Structure 1
Amino acid sequence: MKPLFTSYATAKGGREGHVKSDDGIIDLDLVMPGSGSSKKGSNPEQLFAAGYAACYDGALNLTAKKQKKDIDSEVIGAVSLLKDESDGGFKIQVELDVVVKGVSQEEAEALTKEAHQVCPYSKATRGNIDVTIKTTAK
């Protein structure tokens, strides 16, 4: 497959470092939550949560459009860092809290299930991390 586009970002200094995209739009200091540092910054989990939420919302809206459903949606991504008891390292888990307006609860759940099948982030993480999707129709 030929890429539609490629994004670039450079990280230096790990969790207490800095990340910057090649175009300079992302230019953030990183701080480990709970480290006691007075420094302000983001963290990899926050960046992943933002990316996954945006990608999933795009997949949800594409799915709705293909099914001729007129929706308004919002996705809150929560990414947690966990201690991995199997190897003593760390792992992440994701919760997507999805609010869908314009359809019934049953339709919203069907749309979010389908979006999870087509979302590139969902495809990339399937079988690798725990992902929970909570769907609310309003």
Structure 2
Amino acid sequence: MNPNIISFLQKQTVASICTTDTAANPYCFNCFYAFDAANYLLIYKTHNDTNHATLMLAQKMAAGTILPNKINPLLLKGVQWQGEVLPQSSVLIQQAATIYHKAYPFALAMSGTIWAIALTQIKMTDNSKGFGAKLTWNKID
């Protein structure tokens, strides 16, 4: 993955995550996330009884966006991504929990379950490198 994309994902805190129901009706939510650069995981915490958790368990695929914590309209940066929701039984979930709680220690006191999305595609717009400059990444299995 391009170091500029990794750096961007590590510095931000909020992701917009989208999924669909079986009729392809979209549903989006926002959450604090942590990024695992070694495994290309977007990690977040939520309750299993939420609408988005139910949909993601059924659909397994997600997409979303990440914008900078502070937006500079002239030097806009942002990421559009796609990925696959990892099952709760994945061996990576325990490691993901450690990464998430290191980034957000207050989340240890909150109920909920750690979730992770294995990123498969990223398109980053980075106007600091020229208007409309794009960086792309695709996971190769």
The answer to which structure, 1 or 2, has the higher relative contact order (CA under 8 A, 6+ apart) is: 2
Query: TM above 0.5, one fold?
Result: no
Query: What's the TM-score, normalizing by structure 2?
Result: 0.29
Q: Which of these two proteins has the greater Rg computed from alpha carbons?
A: 1
Query: What's the TM-score, normalizing by structure 1?
Result: 0.30
